Chains A and B, each alone.
Chain A
């Protein structure tokens, strides 16, 4: 035994590995306690009926929480709202971010000024943004005044179920696009100038250069932007919470999955069910990410 340890110790690789793990210990401990353990605990608890208030007790219910999800109408409404939201917001904000980045990457006057102005929404707290937008969306607010000035129809943006989620969409696109714009901007500056020169020599026009040089180069960044955008939109909570005062109304139109989880966990104190919903959300996100990875990889082969 001793001999074995001595022999192992003499090996450079073992010593290196040990030192490596030793250095990583603080991180491993912290991540283990605050990340891995809670995740495992959450997975386990989603099979229980949990009562936390008063006398704490756990009751094994098997798959009952998950069966309940299937029959819960509000889950499907929330899922539909969230998917609707993601389908509109993710492409729009990605295209907008790319367009803004291209614009700011060109040789226009006052480039730095524009960069600052465009980036400001991304550094403002979303709670503050929501409050500002609630003023803009007010029935007598800025947006409706502008619409009626242009002789366009006005809406009760905060109270009408038909447009409430669209209001949040507009706000979110406006505030997230700049962040992705900066990422695109950084990637654009990485593209070697020589490629464009070669394309010019081959007789490519601007649009062709964009299509065949810029876009393929930006593919990994686009993947990142789309995945992050997807995760961000699926986790929509604060905006719809502030909009609807936590109810997800009017008529469930701003109910998102995370808001529903919050309602079950903290309003109804139904932790087991809320955790089951969380697992489902995680699954949905994982599947969505895998699908996107497959899509992007296939394209990069040709």
Chain B
């Protein structure tokens, strides 16, 4: 589509507004409901495959739209040409390509509004927004290799080390101005996008994990307040695990567990365990990290008060809570708009993740805007990034409540710390573990997830499973380097 557009622009006589801008834009409006929660690597199969279909349908639509647009253009050319103001067309605007994923239809709407505003402020820049919904990082990496990557794109903190190391991103330090006020950003989030002392990305928003609980279930079980410690949490889970019709099949589990590394790193750290050693090799099978993980396994296997999403026919934790299959889940901020849209009658509240070993802990996920090193419009790209992450841009973005703003001033101004639903997420930021651990984390994650599930299902002991995962991951890291 991009090609066609460029072709049209090049080949149109001066004074003709390429009408493809209007028509083609619509082709991107993909079917709603393709939720994607990349932050946590939580995209389970159902979500992913939803995108698969959307994409297939989308592609068909796209082809049709291009065809229509081309035909429409043809007839419109002659009609518009005489009216168009010739002064405007002398200097064709710079086209800035921008890519991201979309976790919510509202997110896209809002972003498009922001882009439109940016374009009015900067008439010489034309932002072309492309949504990549399925396998975002694979697509971006492939496009970077093929030199067709967008000028500005989203980058998950989890994948950042690899791209920063390979030098495909433009360092942003030289563009920084005093009025941009970099010091306003949450330092730990900023640090996640630094490599060898250079800053490669500006975090656009973040979310931590918090405990979501069904207040109706709590009331029915006689619980008045959310659990504060992990022991309380385990006791509450048992009380909340109910077989209503006594058919031997549990109807409501206490807790919906996500057996993924992205959600469990803080459990590894709770008793002093670590994910990596200083050389970047995995060490999560140490006795201290097993102590934390054992709590998760025991709850699932011994107490039987927790279930995985697929055990109860759902695709992710929030769906379990929404459908009443679990009374508690630990999820990110992104679940709030999801509940409000998909389960409007659900009575839920949030609390901080219960303390393990008397220490508070949770995970933090963030996404940054980064600039392609090979971009040909770096100044324009910076202008765009600065606009989106600037104080007013971020405020407009964060107001929707899909994620928290990374600028401390905006966070304070929007008052999320006073909103009972959002406060646990804000409080979590001070002790959260950022979901990032060097460029080998994808390998470590694959192996951990693979074996942790196996231990959860009781195929092998946790110690054996983690040892196996750690050894396989380390061998792969060793051989790949």
The residues in A between 142 and 169 inclusive whose CB is less than 8 angstroms from any CB of B are 156, 158-161
Report the Cα distance A51→B168, complex, angstroms. Answer: 13
- CB distance B310 to A266 under 8 Å? no
- CB distance A158 to B310 under 8 Å? yes
Measured between beta carbons, the chain A residues less than 8 angstroms from B163 are 53
The residues in B between 282 and 330 inclusive whose CB is less than 8 angstroms from any CB of A are 308, 310-313
The residues in A between 63 and 81 inclusive whose CB is less than 8 angstroms from any CB of B are 68, 71-74
Q: Does A278 contact B (CB under 8 A)?
A: no
- CB distance B45 to A140 under 8 Å? no
Report the Cα distance A243→B45, complex, angstroms. Answer: 6
- CB distance B166 to A54 under 8 Å? yes
Interface of B is mostly: helix
Q: Could you say which interface size class chain A belongs to?
A: 35 or more
Interchain CB contact (< 8 A) of B450 among A140, A243, A249, A266? A249
- CB distance A251 to B52 under 8 Å? no
Query: Contacts A53-B144, A246-B135, A267-B138; is A251 near B313 (CB within 8 Å)?
Result: no
- CB distance A52 to B45 under 8 Å? no
Which residue of B141, B163, B446 has the most chain A CB atoms within 10 A of its CB atom? B446
Query: Contacts A161-B459, A242-B48; is A139 near B311 (CB within 8 Å)?
Result: yes
Report the Cα distance A71→B10, complex, angstroms. Answer: 54
The smallest beta-carbon distance between A156 and chain B, in angstroms, is: 6
Q: Does B104 contact A (CB under 8 A)?
A: no
Nearest to A154 among chain B residues (CB) is B249
Interchain CB contact (< 8 A) of B48 among A128, A246, A248? A246
- CB distance A55 to B311 under 8 Å? no
Q: Does B15 contact A (CB under 8 A)?
A: no
Q: Could you say which interface size class chain B belongs to?
A: 35 or more
Interchain CB contact (< 8 A) of B451 among A72, A158, A251, A266? A251
Contact with A along B33-48 (1 / 0, CB 8 A): 0000000000111101
Measured between beta carbons, the chain A residues less than 8 angstroms from B312 are 139-140
Measured between beta carbons, the chain B residues less than 8 angstroms from A242 are 45, 48-49, 52
Nearest to A65 among chain B residues (CB) is B479
Q: Does B472 contact A (CB under 8 A)?
A: yes
Measured between beta carbons, the chain A residues less than 8 angstroms from B122 are none
Contact with B along A253-273 (1 / 0, CB 8 A): 000000000010011111001
Interchain CB contact (< 8 A) of A247 among B145, B311, B449, B480? B449
Measured between beta carbons, the chain B residues less than 8 angstroms from A74 are 472
- CB distance B45 to A134 under 8 Å? yes
Measured between beta carbons, the chain B residues less than 8 angstroms from A52 are 145
Interchain CB contact (< 8 A) of A270 among B141, B167, B480? B480
- CB distance B457 to A127 under 8 Å? no
- CB distance A55 to B167 under 8 Å? yes
- CB distance B141 to A156 under 8 Å? no
Report the Cα distance A268→B447, complex, angstroms. Answer: 13
Nearest to A238 among chain B residues (CB) is B52
Nearest to A144 among chain B residues (CB) is B313
Report the Cα distance A269→B453, complex, angstroms. Answer: 26
Measured between beta carbons, the chain B residues less than 8 angstroms from A6 are none
Q: Does A194 contact B (CB under 8 A)?
A: no
Contact with A along B149-178 (1 / 0, CB 8 A): 000000000000011001110000000000
- CB distance B166 to A250 under 8 Å? no
Which residue of A54, A160, A244, A251 has the most chain B CB atoms within 10 A of its CB atom? A251
- CB distance B168 to A245 under 8 Å? no
- CB distance B453 to A249 under 8 Å? yes
Report the Cα distance A249→B44, complex, angstroms. Answer: 11
Report the Cα distance A55→B313, complex, angstroms. Answer: 45
Report the Cα distance A55→B454, complex, angstroms. Answer: 39
Contact with B along A35-55 (1 / 0, CB 8 A): 000000000000000011111
The smallest beta-carbon distance between B245 and chain A, in angstroms, is: 14
- CB distance A267 to B145 under 8 Å? no
The smallest beta-carbon distance between A144 and chain B, in angstroms, is: 8
Q: Does A170 contact B (CB under 8 A)?
A: no
Report the Cα distance A72→B459, complex, angstroms. Answer: 22
- CB distance A131 to B49 under 8 Å? yes
Report the Cα distance A252→B142, complex, angstroms. Answer: 26
Q: Does A141 contact B (CB under 8 A)?
A: yes
- CB distance A251 to B453 under 8 Å? yes
Measured between beta carbons, the chain A residues less than 8 angstroms from B49 are 127, 130-131, 134, 242
Report the Cα distance A114→B454, complex, angstroms. Answer: 43
- CB distance A252 to B450 under 8 Å? yes
Q: Does B360 contact A (CB under 8 A)?
A: no
Measured between beta carbons, the chain B residues less than 8 angstroms from A53 are 141, 144-145, 162-163, 166, 168
- CB distance B457 to A161 under 8 Å? yes
Which residue of B45, B162, B311, B472 has the most chain A CB atoms within 10 A of its CB atom? B45
Report the Cα distance A254→B466, complex, angstroms. Answer: 20
The residues in A between 52 and 100 inclusive whose CB is less than 8 angstroms from any CB of B are 52-55, 68, 71-74
- CB distance B313 to A266 under 8 Å? no
Measured between beta carbons, the chain B residues less than 8 angstroms from A235 are none
Q: Does B443 contact A (CB under 8 A)?
A: yes
Q: Does A300 contact B (CB under 8 A)?
A: no
Contact with B along A118-131 (1 / 0, CB 8 A): 00000001011011
Contact with B along A213-255 (1 / 0, CB 8 A): 0000000000000000000000000000011111111111000
Nearest to A255 among chain B residues (CB) is B450
Q: Does B442 contact A (CB under 8 A)?
A: yes
Q: Does B53 contact A (CB under 8 A)?
A: yes
Measured between beta carbons, the chain A residues less than 8 angstroms from B454 are 161, 250-251
- CB distance A139 to B56 under 8 Å? no
- CB distance B480 to A159 under 8 Å? no
Report the Cα distance A247→B46, complex, angstroms. Answer: 13
- CB distance A134 to B450 under 8 Å? no
Measured between beta carbons, the chain B residues less than 8 angstroms from A292 are none
- CB distance B449 to A159 under 8 Å? no
Q: Does A138 contact B (CB under 8 A)?
A: yes
Measured between beta carbons, the chain A residues less than 8 angstroms from B52 are 127, 131, 242
- CB distance B313 to A128 under 8 Å? no
The smallest beta-carbon distance between A64 and chain B, in angstroms, is: 9
Measured between beta carbons, the chain B residues less than 8 angstroms from A159 are 308, 310-311, 453
- CB distance A267 to B442 under 8 Å? yes
What are 11 sample pairs from A and B whose C-beta atoms fall under 8 A apart?
A131-B53, A134-B46, A139-B311, A141-B313, A159-B310, A161-B454, A247-B446, A251-B451, A251-B453, A266-B141, A270-B480
9 nearest CB pairs, A to B = A159-B310, A54-B166, A251-B454, A140-B313, A139-B313, A138-B313, A245-B45, A250-B453, A53-B166
Q: Which residues of A contact B (CB under 8 A)?
A: 51-55, 68, 71-74, 125, 127-128, 130-131, 134, 138-141, 156, 158-161, 242-252, 263, 266-270, 273
Given contacts A51-B166, A55-B166, A252-B450, 5 further A-B contacts (CB under 8 A): A130-B49, A134-B45, A244-B45, A245-B45, A247-B449
